[in-house]
Homo-oligomer: A and B are copies of this chain.
Amino acid sequence: MERLVVNSSLQSYTIYMEEKSRFKIPKLLKKEYSSILIITDTNVAKLYSNDIVSSFPHDKVYVVVVDAGEQTKSLDTFYYLHTKAIEYGLDRESLIIALGGGVIGDLAGFVAATFMRGIDYVQMPTTILAHDSSVGGKVAINHEKGKNLIGSFYPPILVLYDTDTLKTLPAREVRSGFAEIIKEAMLADSDLFDRLMSVSLEGLTLEALNLFIYSGLQIKIKLVEADEKETGNRKFLNLGHTLGHALEAKLGYGVLTHGEAVAIGLLFMIYVSERELGASLPTETLIKWFKKNGYINPLTLDMVDELVEIILHDKKTVNQKIQMILLRNLAGPIIQPLEAKKLKSYLQGFIVDGISKR
């Protein structure tokens, strides 16, 4: 079993990566819980929730299934889950298990953070993308005016990555998850970046995939440990997310996957880094790789005004200045404050120059 430890100011927790580890959760828990609520979605429930329920010896294990997709990270579902938790008699000694992708992790984690002022929870990511979101304690729901605007920093007690779950992932989910690994490589590991650019998503072995996820996790953990509350360098993890988040919000959550939006965001980040910092980056390699692997890009000029408006209300904006993460070079990130006006003209240039369409 692969094992990584994350040190957090609230508590340290372990990430386990192993095939079929979903059958051994009770063994990995450090205490007994009065009851357990598994929160999962319509896609994942039918595949794995029974395995987990039956792995517990007692019968106070409940499952709540919510709709799959980003639109489920809403205030309504949040309240619904609280209602279910109360109805099932959960108390302060209960445990929540977040079984699913990033949406479930964020949503169930925020329910755990706020149920009776906070109870323990386990992250069980079932997508590649969630390797990223399940670590670091960021939990949230969306506000209609922006993504993840309502949330907390609230670390899980355990992250359990059953690599079985990756076998059944649709191609689009693999694509989505890879964008975050590419982001992590661009932030901190140019060798990893080269290795990523040398593979094709089709026909990737599970072994290779696990190795990429593991490498991405190491980068993420390092940044999270050094800056848990995102007052400094943890912000680097937002590379590609300024435009990425805005695109998701503008198009309606779920139209693009998170990773598809981040992929476009990464290209835009490169475009700005080249112009703002004179950076020299592997632009063509990345554009080609995205194209070859089926990433889509619906960005058009008429979206610009609204995208800038959304970005201005983003968590990453301080004093009306957009705190954009740029690269001086591969593995050399910096935070660059940008006026909205400048961002707008870069965005127009990015679309008109067609870099996003190549």
Contacts and interface: CB of A to CB of B under 8 A. Distances in A.
Given A89-B320, A92-B315, A113 B152 contact: yes
Interface stretch (A47-55, A125-133, A140-148, A158-166): A140-148
Contacts of A318: 34, 91-93
Most B Cβ at <10 Å: residue of A82, A116, A151, A153: A116
Given A75-B75, A82-B143, A83-B143, A152 B315 contact: no
Given A91-B315, A143-B86, A319-B91, A150 B75 contact: no
A86 B313 contact: yes
Oligomeric state, in copies: 2
A138 interface: yes
A118 interface: yes
Interface in A80-119: 82-83, 86-87, 89, 91-93, 113-118
A117 B138 contact: yes
Contacts of A115: 149-150
A24 B190 CA distance: 53
Interface string A3-20: 000000000000000000
Nearest to A116: B315
A215 B350 CA distance: 64
Nearest to A140: B117
Interface residues of A, number: 37
A153 B115 CA distance: 11
A339 to B, nearest CB: 15
Most B Cβ at <10 Å: residue of A79, A91, A113, A318: A91
B117 A151 contact: yes
Contact of A89 (B86, B313, B315): B313
Given A34-B318, A86-B145, A86-B146, A152 B91 contact: no
Interface in A342-358: none
Contacts of A313: 86, 89
Interface string A48-85: 00000000000000000000000000010001001100
A150 B89 contact: no
Interface string A209-240: 00000000000000000000110000000000
A83 B116 contact: no
Contacts of A143: 79, 82-83, 86
A336 interface: no
B114 A151 contact: yes
Interface string A291-323: 000000000000000000000110101111000
A157 B258 CA distance: 35
A317 B92 CA distance: 8
B86 A152 contact: no
A149 B82 CA distance: 8
A114 B138 CA distance: 11
Interface of A: 34, 75, 79, 82-83, 86-87, 89, 91-93, 113-118, 138, 140, 143, 145-146, 148-153, 229-230, 312-313, 315, 317-320
